[in-house]
Structure 1
Amino acid sequence: MGTLRNIQLEELEKHFGKAIFDRYNIVMQIFRLHATSKHAKLQVALAEIPFLQSRLKKHDTDLVVSAATDTRHLLLQTREKKIKEEIKKLKSQRELLRCKRMKANFPVVAVVGYTNVGKTSLIKALTGDKTLVPRDQLFATLDVTIHAGILPSTLKVLYVDTVGFLYDIPTGLIECFNATLEDAILADVVLHVEDLSSKNFTHQRIHVLNTLESLSSKMGVPEIQKKLILVGNKYDIGDKSNKSTLEVSSRTERGIDLLKYKLEETILKVTNRHLLNISLPVGGDEVRWLYKNATVVKMKEDTENTENNIVSIIISEAKLNQFKRIFVTS
């Protein structure tokens, strides 16, 4: 099939006297332009190999395959093996980084969706990070990037910006980038951003959800729906017949505060964190420990015991048990 496609393109180029690119090549050109990290460049190089192999087949005769072509095929196979080994090493490094984030105890929110739906713009609105510069381009983000944010309770979270989805590109090409979606599957919450102005709204939703379900099944991560939030972006220019769980505009910041509260509610639920009010001695070791190991939301005087303050905290189950072991005696 690839050889037939190449022949057809060659004939069209001869007829028009111009270079002609199919969908695969256009996407590859975009990938090359936006691959900046070592991981992204390796993924692009891996995705190119099937295309290069098909180009070699174009020059083969029906009965005889030249020694030169054989050599090139072997070189490509060797290159493919080396690239896969490098990607495997980087995957191990990514797993270590994920472990470090887990030890730091910051909830992770993965932001997924089709390319150009406004994922980076939404993260900018959620974090208030003025240094983020969203671009109106396909695949503006090919690398996983991480951005810190704060929710209404002052709980700190990490937003993970992922590679965008695109409809109808070769399966092999998408599979090369599945590694970037692993961060989404393993995140505490998955924020699926939809473009309310898209004419392909329903199809895009189905495609993203099916992909997430398939990947989560392969990775042994059950019930991804429980940590999934649908948010419709571009409400200011969107089709009002397209509906998401939450509707926002990254540009005008409509609905952003409501989204933050929804994120907080979901994070507390899926990460088994507790929102508690505890009466503790003023300036005691307990309060100092909580500042280091939990999120202190607010503090006020305990009217029933003037030596104490009422401390409102968000704390994980593990840290709560640790607090009890240290400070709560029998």
Structure 2
Amino acid sequence: MEKFGKKAILLGVESTYNKDSFDSLDELETLCKTLEIEVVDKVIQRRVKPDSVTYVGSGKLHKIKDYCLANSIDLIVIDDEITPIQLRNIEEITGLKVVDRTQIILEIFSKHASTHEGKLQVEMAKLIYDLPRLRGKGLELSNPGGGIGTRGPGETILELDRRRIKDRISQLKKELEKIRKNRHTVRKSRLESGYYIFSVVGYTNAGKSTLLSALSKEEDIIISDKMFSTLNPTVRRIKLPDGRFVLLSDTVGFIRKLPHTLVEAFHSTLEEILYSDVIIILVDVSDTNYKKKLSASFSVLEEIKANDKPYFIVFNKIDLVPEDYLDMIRYEYPNSVFISAKSKLGFEVLYKKIREYIDIFDIRKRIHIKAEQLSVILKYADFIEWNVVEYLNDGYILDIKGPENIVEKISKQLKDDKQMF
């Protein structure tokens, strides 16, 4: 990508606290490919912790500079979020453009943001990231007046830029708060509808959109093998084999070292998970690093305070791994579900697991209903199960089972206090 450079070298640190540097660099390479950046090489330096001034030390940077010049590399990508001081020093020593992992992720988000809300969220995340990294000569503005966007004498260009960014962040927060309130209204309506909500979450590229498309039998969901192809929440109504319906939602994918600025900016989007009844954690079982990515998913859920929600794990892409390998994972995760969203394998087990939660949440009630009131039951047929227990001269005794709010709505509409248990 022209904005960053065409050919890059990736640079990471394997420290006492980070033993996953090789995996992390492989993932960073995939992120770079999403932006069409060619990765020429990956370099890892082992040290107790990253150098606070140059990340890897000036000696190492001089070697990297020589290597980059010899191989026509015009970009260094750091596998961590670096400080403004580190950024400046690395650029000064190497003479090359330097970006960090956070910038790469932000750029991918910017590329894939398609809705007004998504664009606002990405813009805010980028501004929050950029604010402490502003650099300039700090020349005083020559205009002593108090015109639009200025504060008169004494304010430097750098100070003006900072003020403008802070003002824009404040404006974006207000706009996003309005959208959040509208989303809250939609969520409230969804919660009151009577449908149980299952949020599909997981590491980016685990197959969430493919699963949603397969279960809902809709083809308008964006499916891509690129990271973060889905940023905006997608909600679909799913019909189970027994006739009951649930809502399935898909939101932005998780990733290791997910920038906090993105978590903050996408808070209203990630809130979708908080309003769900059950979380389905989707895992790419064909990925050798699935355990680490599963751990990263749990970390994000904890960060957004959704770690106390009921959940179950679904291992996807079982058609890509041997059966004996799956048997080992089944032994380790006995209550999990194993599927292939692409080949639609294992869906009957997934439906059964969803059904288990429906049965946990549902309440039962026995009611007396007159014959002319049967239309009330039929009105809520998508949400409940019912059967006739007894035929009476003036109607029926029914057993109904469903979400508590729907069962109570039915009772209220029947206006019959004669309830039998």
Q: Which category of TM-score, normalised to the shorter sequence, fits these structures? A: 0.7 to 0.9
| CA offsets 1:18-40 (integer angstroms, 9 cap, x no match) | x5543222112211111011111
**5 Å matches for 1:1-330?**
2-8=83-89, 10-11=91-92, 14=95, 19-57=97-135, 67-216=156-305, 223-224=308-309, 227-238=310-321, 240=326, 241-243=328-330, 244=333, 245-270=336-361, 272-274=362-364, 284-295=371-382, 314-325=401-412, 326=414, 328-330=416-418
Summarize deviations over 1:238-295 as a string: whole Å, max 9, x none.
453444411111011111121112112203313x344x798977xx333210121343
**Structure 1 residue 316: deviation in Å?**
2.5
Amino acid at match of 1:288: S
Residue ranges of structure 2 left out of the alignment (5+ in a row): 1-81, 140-153
Residues 280 and 309 in structure 1, CA contact (< 8 A), matched pair in contact too = yes
Q: Percent identity?
A: 25
Unaligned runs of 5+ in 1: none
Over 3 Å counting, the alpha-carbon distance change for 1:107 and 1:301 in structure 2 is closer
Would you say the 8 A contact 1:125–1:256 is kept in 2?
A: no
**1:141-198: per-residue Cα shift (whole Å, max 9, x none)?**
1111111111122122211111100112432233322322211121111111111112
Shift of 1:302: 8.3
Output the CA distance in 1 between the equivalents of 2:391 and 2:283.
50
- Give the match's secondary structure for 2:134: helix
In structure 2, the CA distance between the partners of 1:210 and 1:27, relative to structure 1 (3 Å rule), is closer
Distance 2:236 2:191 in 1: 15
Given that residues 384 and 402 in structure 2 are in contact (C-alpha distance below 8 angstroms), is that contact kept between their aligned partners in structure 1?
Answer: no
Query: Alignment partner of 1:159: what SS?
Result: strand
* 1-structure distance, mates of 2:304, 2:195: 24
Cα distance in 2, alignment partners of residues 108 and 215 from structure 1: 18
CA distance in 1, matches of 2:137, 2:259: 22
CA change 1:195–1:8 in 2 (3 A) is farther
Q: RMSD of the alignment, in Å?
A: 3.2
Q: Cα gap change, 1:13/1:124 in structure 2, threshold over 3 Å: closer, same or farther?
A: farther
Preserved CA contact (<8 Å) 1:39 1:87: yes
Q: Which has the higher helix share?
A: 1
How many angstroms apart in 2 are the aligned matches of 1:44 and 1:13?
30
Change (3 A) 1:298 1:3: closer
> Are the equivalent residues in 2 in contact too, given 1:43–1:176 (CA < 8 A)?
yes
Q: 1:59 deviation in Å? A: 5.0
TM-score, normalised to structure 1's length? 0.82
Q: How far, CA to CA, are the matches of 1:176 and 1:209 in structure 2?
A: 20
How much does 1:213 deviate?
3.4
- Alpha carbons of structure 1 residues 134 and 329: separation in structure 2 relative to 1, 3 Å: same
Q: Distance in 2 between matches of 1:197 and 1:8?
A: 40
Higher relative contact order (CA 8 A, sep 6+): 1
Residues 182-235 of structure 1 deviation map (CA, whole Å, 9 limit, x = unaligned):
111211111111111122211222222233234236xxxx841xx212111111
Confirm or deny: 8 A CA contact 1:154 1:297 kept in the other structure: no
| Structure 1 Cα separation of the partners of residues 382 and 252 of structure 2 | 31
On the 8 A contact 2:368/2:416 being kept in 1, the answer is no
- Residue pair 1:120, 1:132 contacting (<8 A) in 2 also: yes
Conserved 8 A contact 2:385-2:400: yes
Distance 1:194 1:97 in 2: 29
Distance 2:372 2:221 in 1: 39
Letter in 2 for 1:24: T
* TM-score, structure 2 as length reference: 0.66
C-alpha change, 1:50 and 1:301, in structure 2 (3 Å) is: closer
Cα distance in 2 for partners of 1:327, 1:50 equals 56
* Structure number with larger C-alpha Rg: 2
Of residues 29-38 and 197-206 in structure 1, the stretch that sits farther from structure 2 once superposed is: 197-206
- One-letter amino acid of the structure 2 residue matched with residue 323 of structure 1: I
Distance 1:279 1:262, change over 3 A: farther
